[in-house]
Structure 1
Amino acid sequence: MLIIDGSYHEGGGQIIRTAVAFSALTGKAVRIENIRAGRQNPGIQAQHLAAVNAVAKLCNARVKGASMGSLALEFSPNPIQGGSFSIDIGTAGSIPLVFQAIVLPALHARENVIFEITGGTSVLWSPTINYFQDIFCYFLKKMGVDINVGLASYGFYPKGGGIVKAIITPCANLKPLNLTKRGSLDKINFLSVASESLKGAKVAERQIEGAKNILKEYHGKTEISYCNTPSPGSFIYLDANYENCKLGASAIGELYKPAEKVGEEAANRLDKQMESDACLDEWMADQIVPYLALSGGSVKVEEITPHVETNIWVVERFLGKIFEVDKAKKIIRVNKS
């Protein structure tokens, strides 16, 4: 059984998600110890538990230690199956982060995989579901992946209640991803969403106003939407469309934070990415690592973050030394002979 230190480097939930995904993929049993040991709330939390249970359903795994607050987890997989599954995180735990664990093993299933997940779609410390749909899936489709993600409803902190359904078609042989030149900028799209209860305060419109005060050119599509949600909330999502790639940024509304500031926060993040010459933003950089390990290729990223380094470390625990990282040029490379 492979032993992985869950407190290594960045020491977050990503270690759990990547480890169980590669355990299912390789058939190697894994034990993760010291899970999130350095965090304020150490151990497994609801979103991590949902990810483990989701991957376990895919491969009928034997699991020990899958409980709230657990500091150790054992995951012993069987062959990956297909089929339809549902997961209720039970809180506003991040739906996109649960999908991070599911998609990779689902590509190696015997038939299509359909997952419906209930939880948080737009929460702090996580990609929004719109980023997952528009950026993550965009890059996977470049690698030959057929993934369809449908949003039924949004869910904000603390009650969640958002519902997302994904259909993933098996694709065992990924196309290499080579992206080191992003080409010219075409347009920037704006999406601002808020709960119906915030419509009177024009929260969604004000988020857009804040973003456009920063990003004054290349305006593409602007969407404003209000929706019924169990808990009130808001977010803004922006994407910059280039000739060869996309960059994305989000910001989440918070109590006592002016809506204009939420828009400015997302716009400043995107502006920072655009000032670099990266083809993958800092969030996509660590998310692409497991797929690049299997496909091969070379990508220029915004930053080699601790998340990127940690994810590479976990993958190489299963596959051996395969990554080349040029920190100066911010290029991640996997050569497939």
Structure 2
Amino acid sequence: MPTATASTSSASTRHLRFRGHTNFRQRLILSCLTGRPVRIDAIRPDDTEPGIQDFEAGFLRLIEKMTNGTVVEIGYTGTSVSLRPGTISGGDVTHDCGVSRSVGYYLEWIAVLAPFAKKEVRLTLKGITTGTGDAGVDILRTVTLPLLSQFLPEGTAFASPLELRVISRGMAPGGGGAVQFRSPLLPTTSGLRALNFNATGRVRRIRGVASAVRVSPNMASRLVDSSRGVLGRYIPDLYIFADVFRGEEAGRSPGFALSLVSTSTTGALQCAEVLSTPGTPPEEVAEKASRSLLSEIASGGCVGRQHQAHALLLMACGPEDVSKIRLGALTPTAIQMLRDIKEFTSVVFKIASANSAGGPAVERPSKAQGQTGSDSEEEEELEEEDIQTARIQPQELILTCVGVGIRGARKAA
């Protein structure tokens, strides 16, 4: 049974080679989980500032803090990186994320690594709590961690819950926020659970957080009212919490943001998050976030587009049993994750159309010679109805795989 420690076999000592800076974090996490050394070349070779950026170097430093015996080598020009993973040690870790990227850039993939550690992870991250292009702390707390918890065994085997606490908020560009992440360990006798998530259900509630720091509390109220005006027409069970931070807990820069999460009758989560830019009124931020959430819901699937790659990785690391999930149209990140999973673990996913797996298609009468004008108009109306239905119905996929049974580094007492 594979473990999350470095293997000594000849296959695992050979470096897997990749090119480019895309999916940088995912490949490093896969390397740590499978024990396969990895080398990444041609990292921005033609840019004005070639090589890895400071936030990527920070992610490497965080992996070194989370592991024991990991060897990282960065080329002279910074355009190549090699990593030979060690044991995932865990424990108490504090890391300054800087102000180039938010804490979500680091935590959304470190959270996947944490349950496989030898010691319980208690991680403190400092920096920007909500930033453009990365998952904010509210999305991590309400969507990312619940997704991870679906793969973990029953909570009775854990000494602590899976949780994320926001100590202080920090908006770009100054940052100044801090969060505490705590993760339980996998039991010594088992790994992750197999997942069968094939029903999207109907949206039954929407929750949200309107956060504001170093601005008038009225900004958060305007976010709430504007978002209710858009979403209240679709669902009555709608609640948005105004979270206003002041003083030392408000970071160094002013700003506000709105995070929204929808929950279906089967537990499927869809999310959207928009933060303010200089000169942007709260009403515009709220409307953009609300429309983005509606777009996510319309895209279908049991997991949102932002978390497709996370679900696929956890399925591949799961037990040697069948896992199945329904997703919307795959994102480029998810497609590349499928390829990387095959390189690291040899796990191949079976992909089938969820729409074709449903009920039989409705047959329409064919146009016959001598058909009257009213019949022709009726057929055109039916065809137009089919087109509208195809536009509304999301193109969903069913992905199935058998995991490799990766276990944690925790030792029996």
CA contact 2:16–2:38 (8 Å) conserved in 1: yes
- Per-residue Cα deviation, 1:92-139 (whole angstroms, up to 9, x for no partner): 522122113322332221121111111111110111111111001111
Cα distance between partner residues in 1 of 2:55 and 2:333: 18
Cα distance between partner residues in 1 of 2:399 and 2:48: 31
1:288 to 306, 311, 320: 311
Cα distance between partner residues in 1 of 2:53 and 2:200: 37
User: Could you say what secondary structure the match of 2:209 adopts?
Assistant: strand
CA contact 1:83–1:112 (8 Å) conserved in 2: yes
> What aligned pairs does 1:28-43 form with structure 2 within 5 A after superposition?
28-35=36-43, 43=51
Amino acid at match of 2:195: L
Match for residue 186 of structure 1?
A: 204
Match for residue 264 of structure 2?
A: 242
Distance 1:136 1:214, change over 3 A: same
| Structure exhibiting the larger radius of gyration computed from Cα positions | 2
1:213 to 229, 248, 251: 229
CA contact 1:114–1:165 (8 Å) conserved in 2: yes
1:159 to 154, 174, 183: 174
Cα distance between partner residues in 1 of 2:325 and 2:400: 7
Question: Unmatched 5+ residue regions in structure 2?
Answer: 1-13, 154-160, 354-394, 405-413
> How much does 1:36 deviate?
5.0
> How much does 1:186 deviate?
1.9
Match for residue 71 of structure 1?
A: 79
Distance 1:316 1:42, change over 3 A: farther
- Per-residue Cα deviation, 1:204-242 (whole angstroms, up to 9, x for no partner): 222223322221223332211221221111110111111
Cα distance between partner residues in 1 of 2:328 and 2:55: 27
Cα distance between partner residues in 2 of 1:32 and 1:218: 50
Distance 1:299 1:28, change over 3 A: same
Match for residue 384 of structure 2?
A: none
CA contact 1:6–1:37 (8 Å) conserved in 2: no
2:146 to 125, 138, 143: 138
Match for residue 113 of structure 1?
A: 121
Distance 1:49 1:198, change over 3 A: farther
Cα distance between partner residues in 2 of 1:66 and 1:179: 43
Pair 1:272-2:295 in alignment:
yes
User: Could you say what secondary structure the match of 1:260 adopts?
Assistant: helix
Cα distance between partner residues in 1 of 2:350 and 2:200: 21
Question: Alignment identity in percent?
Answer: 20
Distance 1:101 1:214, change over 3 A: same
Amino acid at match of 1:334: C
- Per-residue Cα deviation, 1:115-164 (whole angstroms, up to 9, x for no partner): 11111111101111111110011111111265221111111111212111
User: Could you say what secondary structure the match of 1:160 adopts?
Assistant: coil
TM-score (norm 1): 0.89
Match for residue 378 of structure 2?
A: none
Match for residue 229 of structure 1?
A: 251
Amino acid at match of 1:332: L
Deviates more, 1:16-25 or 1:322-331: 322-331
Distance 1:265 1:36, change over 3 A: farther
Amino acid at match of 1:156: M
Question: Unmatched 5+ residue regions in structure 1?
Answer: none
Cα distance between partner residues in 2 of 1:138 and 1:131: 10
